[in-house]
Amino acid sequence: MSNKLLHAEKLCKKFGGVTALEDYNLTLEEGELFGLIGPNGAGKTTVFNLFTGVIHSTSGNIFFKGHDVTRSRADKNTSLGIARTFQNIRLFEDLTVLDNIKIAFHMHYGRGLFPTLLNLPGFRRTEREIEAHSLEIMNFIGILNYQDELARNLPYGDQRKVELARALATDPKLILLDEPTAGLNPKETEKVMKTITYIFEHNKLTILLVEHDMKVIMGICRRIQVLDQGKVLALGTPDEIKRDQKVIEAYLGKPRAKRNSHA
């Protein structure tokens, strides 16, 4: 009970007539790498949108670090320590990679209008700090060579790295990764998963990892939840999940949905 980081109960989300999520429950322990899988359209991204506050639930509650964040705004949740990446990459394309990372520091370091205009010493210091921290994180993730490149010009795999670096830069407690390997070839996939494991071990984070491909996360998550058509199908260790009859049906019994097809 004490090290419960995030707790969602009875979440329900309807889009008009479509029920994207129904009676969804999840408890994340601090420091775990938790896997959320399910076929396309299962409601995984909807879970992320609800947790981050990008959209709000039709009913049910979300608690983060004991705060009720059910109705709270995305930027508030980020400052509480929830960060995310996006299934369809959302970089600031016309800005340099360095500026992309710097923006993540605005929340904690950025100064307001008057210190900026008056060029106060505090403002100049924080600008230097933002730059130093950004370069540090870029070095850590391995994208330092791109600092003055526009984000739009990076190869796909490296764009995913920028997203990861940006999320890390908000100094999160919990990172939600939405299909971080979508659109990558097997070799790149392996590299990104290695990066994620490295970050997880290095930064004392809690990670909620979404995949629609089971194989990818079987190896690295201790607990996995399976979602199908907005409902929780199963929750357990990778071995339990692999043997679960309902999961096998959801994944194998029906024709496989097209990969990576939507936002």
Partner 1 sequence: MELKNTKLFFPILIASGALLVFLMRAFMNDYILIIVNFVGINIILAVSLNLTNGFTGLFSLGHPGFMAVGGYVAAILIFPAARKEMLLPELPRWLAMQQWPLLPALILGGLCAALIALIIGFPVLRLKGHYLAVATLGFLIIVRVLITNMEKYTRGPLGLNGLPSLTNLWWVFLWVVITIYVSWKIKHASLGRSMLAIRENAMAAECLGIALAKTRITAFVIGAFFAGVAGGLWAHLVTAITPTSFSILMAFSLVVMVVIGGTGSITGAALAAILLTLVVEILRPLEEFLGAYGISEIIIAIGLLAILIFRPRGLFGSSEPSFLVKRKKTPQGSEAGI
Residues of this chain that interact with Mg ion (CB under 5 A) are 44-45, 87
Quick one: which of 40, 37, 88 has its CA closest to 227? 37
Residue 260 binds ligand ADP (CB under 6 A): no
Residue 38 binds ligand ADP (CB under 6 A): yes
- The answer to whether residues 98 and 147 touch, using CB atoms and an 8 Å cutoff, is yes
Looking at residue 257, what DSSP letter applies? P
Residue 235 binds ligand ADP (CB under 6 A): no
Residue 113 binds ligand ADP (CB under 6 A): no
- Quote the CA–CA distance of 125 and 28 in Å, as a whole number: 37
Residue 180 binds ligand ADP (CB under 6 A): no
Residue 40 binds ligand ADP (CB under 6 A): yes
Give the pairing of strands 4-15 and 206-211.
unpaired
The interface partner of residue 42, options being ligand ADP, Mg ion, partner 1, none and the CB cut-off 5 to 8 Å by kind, is ligand ADP
The count of other CB atoms within 10 Å of the CB of residue 229 is 15
Amino acid (1-letter code) at residue 185? N
**What residue ranges bind partner 1 (CB under 8 A)?**
52, 54, 73-75, 78-79, 83-84, 86, 90-95, 99, 102-113, 116-117, 119, 123, 126-127, 130, 135, 139-142, 144-145, 147-148, 166-167, 169-170, 194-195, 198-199
Q: State the helix-helix crossing angle for 97-104 and 121-141, rounded to 10 degrees.
A: 120
Residues that bind ligand ADP (CB under 6 A): 15, 18, 20, 38, 40-46
